[in-house]
């Protein structure tokens, strides 16, 4: 179940149209353009709401993503590495986002700091293929975990 705040956040992130993964050479380029446009809008929305909390970049092919995310609590900034690979079956399969430094720190983390999203996230992702992308995964996964810390 997605709470109202998360629902509002998701409604402001552009949906994607192209159903293509890394194996679909030409369509993958179109999908990556949509991913970047969605991420740019999501970051702009966050900055406007004074909720800037992550930076991402990818390799040339758009298959490996990495960056930083942070959380501010009691005027202290906690910063973490974030990383994930795009699965070959993307967008049907969601990426497994990892915060390696949080490995074993909370019940929502497993195997090298990967975020456990199976119960709520995966069914929601499956219902929204190909509309959901990286920005949606960040909003639903990483933002949730940083609130648990």
Q: Does the CA dihedral 96-115-121-70 come out positive or negative?
A: negative
**Which residues contact residue 28 at a Cβ distance below 8 angstroms, ignoring those fewer than 6 apart?**
20, 21, 22, 62
145 and 97 Cβ atoms separated by less than 8 Å? no
Q: Would residue 69 show up in a list of annotated catalytic residues for this protein?
A: no
Given the residues 2, 43, 116, 129, the one annotated as active site: 116
Measured between alpha carbons, how far is 31 from 21 in angstroms, rounded to an integer? 8
Q: What are the Cα distances from residue 9, in Å, to 6, 14, 41, 49, 143? A: 5, 11, 11, 10, 11
Measured between alpha carbons, how far is 78 from 69 in angstroms, rounded to an integer? 8
Largest CA distance in the chain: 47
Q: Could you list the active site residues? A: 116
């Amino acid at each position: 179940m997605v709470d109202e705040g998360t629902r509002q956040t998701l409604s402001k992130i552009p949906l994607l149209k192209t159903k293509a993964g890394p194996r679909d050479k030409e369509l993958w380029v179109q999908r990556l353009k949509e991913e970047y446009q969605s991420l740019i809008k999501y970051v702009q929305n966050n900055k406007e709401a004074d909720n800037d909390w992550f930076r991402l970049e990818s390799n040339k092919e758009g298959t490996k993503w990495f960056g930083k995310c942070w959380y501010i609590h009691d005027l202290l900034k906690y910063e973490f590495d974030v990383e994930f690979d795009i699965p070959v079956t993307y967008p049907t399969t969601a990426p497994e986002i990892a915060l390696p430094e949080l490995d074993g720190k909370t019940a929502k983390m497993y195997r090298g700091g990967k975020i456990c999203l199976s119960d709520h996230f995966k069914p929601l992702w499956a219902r929204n293929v190909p509309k959901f992308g990286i920005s949606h995964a960040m909003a639903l996964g990483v933002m949730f975990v940083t609130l648990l810390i």
